[in-house]
């Protein structure tokens, strides 16, 4: 059985470690920070835990809508206690981290704390609190992840100008917040802090929120409408040229975006109490001496690998965020890549198919996507037709009081084969799984429409979209 060293204990690294150990490998898992990586400690889980608090506060504000009123003589008002919200987030995080450490112990995965760097011939040098150790193994899996990108024009001071990591530990809600970056992270945090009471402005350099090719433009338009209803302001096709902190306030200078052709207009200023920078990620691999091991990276430092996760060095694999935006920087993709890499460590010849990957965006409403957007399908030369069904037409949505949203199904014109689905609305990130499975099995709109869906459920929206597609 092979010996495998894995650098990075995020969702790619620990899944790979557990799978390799269950197969009988001798596994060393190296982590310089917290087990669970970005996803568990500063990403997916913390943001969703805090979002649950934001949703609870919003629900409390709607109680009268559901016929829930204070008892006679009582008065009920709700506000956010950020210290308690952060404390709850930490409890959830620690429970999950502890669970991963227990799994390492039960599977006899050696968990080594320290900073790793590569040496030639599949040797890893680890700098720990006790000293330096070198580990030679049959295979190495690089799961080193990424970190927040800082902008020179917006130097983070962690007080007035913060990043997304800082946002998850705020013990107060600023009266006004400018979020730089209208991608997934920026939009999620915009809805969270608006729910907590902040006045939120999102500045996005492109011409729509969520300007990601895989996100259908209809979803961006819907989200922008719902953001406006929540009181969130968007400044699109603009960038923050500078930010000056004085007397506890931040003055931002906004100008036309260089990323949008034809963007124009005079510079403007906006005063705020806090700026949150959420403009992307950079690799963590800069100090790992990858070149010494023959591992090539691109100009930005992202590791080069094929679809079997093999790098340019024999016996060394790379997975997860370390591969950069040329792949898909999502936790569940990192896990799938980890399983692929381990299979190849055991002599298989497995590759990963990136064509059917569901993704969740936890805004209000949620957005779930899988496959191609309509624009991507057209760009690829596919003859497609889409069908939309509105959330408000579902009995379950009416009963829940969740009317905002839509189901959009994109299918090949001739065959009806499903090539993409985009859902916005309550539980959209769960609902999209049905279409992901349908796409994985090469199914058509007819296959979905001819499957009986329970009533009353939100999943009926997938059926209705498929049935509508068949009717043309």
CATH no. for 161-279: 3.50.50.60
Give the full edge-to-edge strand order of the sheet including 3-7.
110-113, 26-31, 3-7, 139-142, 316-318
Residue numbers in the chain where pLDDT is lower than 70: none
The pLDDT value recorded for residue 206 is: 98
Q: Where are the domains of the chain?
A: 3-148+282-345, 161-279, 359-471
* Alpha helices by DSSP H, 112-196: 164-167, 184-195
Q: Which of 127, 158, 172, 455 is labelled catalytic? A: 455
In CATH, 3-148+282-345 is 3.40.50.2000? no
The pLDDT value recorded for residue 48 is: 97
- The tokens of 222 are what? 């819907």
The pLDDT value recorded for residue 1 is: 86
Q: Is 332 a catalytic residue?
A: no
The pLDDT value recorded for residue 137 is: 97
Which residues on neighbouring strands pair with residue 364, listed in sequence order?
Answer: none
The pLDDT value recorded for residue 77 is: 86
102 C-beta neighbours (distance < 10 Å), count: 10
DSSP 377-422: HHHTT--EEEEEEEGGGSHHHHHHT----EEEEEEETTT-BEEEEE
The pLDDT value recorded for residue 121 is: 87
Q: Do domains 3-148+282-345 and 359-471 have the same CATH topology?
A: no
The pLDDT value recorded for residue 216 is: 97
Rounded to whole angstroms, the Cα distance separating 234 from 204 reads: 7
The pLDDT value recorded for residue 19 is: 98
Specify the pTM.
Answer: 0.95
CATH no. for 359-471: 3.30.390.30
Q: What is the DSSP letter of 310?
A: B
Q: What is the DSSP letter of 149?
A: P
Question: What are the tens digits of pLDDT across the range 25-52?
Answer: 999 999 999 999 999 999 999 999 999 9
């Amino acid at each position: 059985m092979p010996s495998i060293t894995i650098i990075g204990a995020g969702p790619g690294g620990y899944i790979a470690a557990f799978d390799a150990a269950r197969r009988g490998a001798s596994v060393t898992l190296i982590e310089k920070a917290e087990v669970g990586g970005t996803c568990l400690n500063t990403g997916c889980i913390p943001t969703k835990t805090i979002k649950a608090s934001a949703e609870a506060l919003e629900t409390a504000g709607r109680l009268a809508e559901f016929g829930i009123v204070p008892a006679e003589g009582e008065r009920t008002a709700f506000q956010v206690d950020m210290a308690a919200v952060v404390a709850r987030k930490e409890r959830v995080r620690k429970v999950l981290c502890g669970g991963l450490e227990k799994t390492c112990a039960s599977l006899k995965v050696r968990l080594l704390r320290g900073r790793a760097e590569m040496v030639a011939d599949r040797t890893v040098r680890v700098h720990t609190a006790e000293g330096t150790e070198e580990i030679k193994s049959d295979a190495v899996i690089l799961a080193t992840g990424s970190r927040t990108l800082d902008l020179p024009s917006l130097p983070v001071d962690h007080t007035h100008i913060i990043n997304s990591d800082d946002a998850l530990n705020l013990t107060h809600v600023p009266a006004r917040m400018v979020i730089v970056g209208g991608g997934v992270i920026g939009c999620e945090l915009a809805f969270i802090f608006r729910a907590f009471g902040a006045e939120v402005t999102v500045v996005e350099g492109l011409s729509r929120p969520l300007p990601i090719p895989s996100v259908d433009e209809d979803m961006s338009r819907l989200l922008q409408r719902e953001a406006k209803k929540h009181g969130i302001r968007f400044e699109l096709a603009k960038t923050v040229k500078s930010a000056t902190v004085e007397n506890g306030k931040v003055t931002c200078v906004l100008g036309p975006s260089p990323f949008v052709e034809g963007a124009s207009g005079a510079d403007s200023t906006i005063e705020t109490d806090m700026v949150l920078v959420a403009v992307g990620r950079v690799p963590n691999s800069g100090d790992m001496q990858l070149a010494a091991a023959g591992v090539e990276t691109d100009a930005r430092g992202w590791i080069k690998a094929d679809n079997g996760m093999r790098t340019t060095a024999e016996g060394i694999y790379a997975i997860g965020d370390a591969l950069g935006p040329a792949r898909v920087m999502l936790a569940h993709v990192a896990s799938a890549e980890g399983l692929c890499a381990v299979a190849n460590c055991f002599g298989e010849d497995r590759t990963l198919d990136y064509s059917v990957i569901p993704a969740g965006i936890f805004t209000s409403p949620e957005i779930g996507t899988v496959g191609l957007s309509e624009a991507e399908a057209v760009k690829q030369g596919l003859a497609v037709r889409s069908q939309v069904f509105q959330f408000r037409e579902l009995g379950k949505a009416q009963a829940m009081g969740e009317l905002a949203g839509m189901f959009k199904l994109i299918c090949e014109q001739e065959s009806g084969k499903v090539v993409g689905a985009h859902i916005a609305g309550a539980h959209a990130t769960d609902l999209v799984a049905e279409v992901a499975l349908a796409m994985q099995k090469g199914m058509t709109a007819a296959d979905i429409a001819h499957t009986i869906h329970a009533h009353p459920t939100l999943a009926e929206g997938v059926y209705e979209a498929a049935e509508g597609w068949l009717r043309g």
